Amino acid sequence: MNIYKVPCEECGETITTKYRNKRFCSTSCTNKAWYRRKKGTPGAAARAGKICLQCKETFTAKRSDAVYCSAFCAQKAWYKANPEKREEYLAQFAERHPDYIKNRLARIKADPERYAILQERKRRYYLNRKNSRHNCDWDEMFAGLWHLQDGKCYLCEESLNPDAYCNIHLDHDHSCCPLGRSCEKCRRGLACQRCNTLIGLVKDDPDYLYRIANNLEIANSLVRKRIAILRVERLKAHDRSFLKAPIRQGFIHRRLQKGMSWVDEAPVVPFAC
């Protein structure tokens, strides 16, 4: 029997075989070559540039009739289209396994190695999603903005908590890129949860915020004046509830301890403030 040594047409590795016309060393190389050859066909053009119906991302499908970029998006779409069936299935599962969902996280945390693997998997998935949506190295971009802002929110200038990673948002101009995406031109900076929600509610309009700030300042000044007048009226009317006011509480308490009136009148019986 003759033994032949031929190179793999895909990876170039030498193949030792008894078949003279063998072209590939493995099924993986065969599939890679098949997909590479199909790139120039009309079917490849139909598979490329598809938009996922769930996440709206562009992807290259392996099948011409694919409408979702992954099994995860297909599952989410099914859940969204069949909420009653999903609730029924979850109820049946919870009935069969009453302690499974309740103790699932506790079981994972009890095994530090498994918990670390799960956290790393979540971090990798989060970073991959961020990298693809923002078209950059998320870690490098985040570190650069963090150093540039000295770890503070670029709007309120309060310190950001690096441990509360989910409460730190990358703010950008939505007129350039849609929600959840950004580019180098439209990124504004890192913002805290409160500021990011605030500018979203006012639709990124600084004039709107100026009007709110001016009207709030005027209203606060009027309220402070009314409170000051009310305190003076209570003082004149000998209203003892005025003792709770923080401005004169210490002074009034000392006079009462000496048996003196807190309005320079006849002595009164002291009482605890």
pLDDT tens digits for range 203-254? 889 999 999 999 999 999 999 988 888 887 777 776 555 445 544 555 555 5
Q: d(Cα 5, Cα 10) in Å, to the nearest integer?
A: 15
* pLDDT for position 264: 46
Higher pLDDT, 187 or 104: 187
* pLDDT for position 262: 45
154 band by pLDDT with thresholds 50, 70 and 90? very high
Query: What is 147-204's CATH topology?
Result: His-Me finger endonuclease fold (3.40.1800)
Domain boundaries, the chain: 1-38, 147-204, 207-257
Give the list of residues 6+ apart from residue 12 with CB closer than 8 angstroms, or none: none
Q: What is the pLDDT of residues 95-147, one digit of tens each?
A: 888 777 778 778 888 888 888 888 888 877 877 777 778 888 878 888 899 99
pTM of the model: 0.46
CA dihedral 259, 260, 263, 265 (to 10 degrees): 110
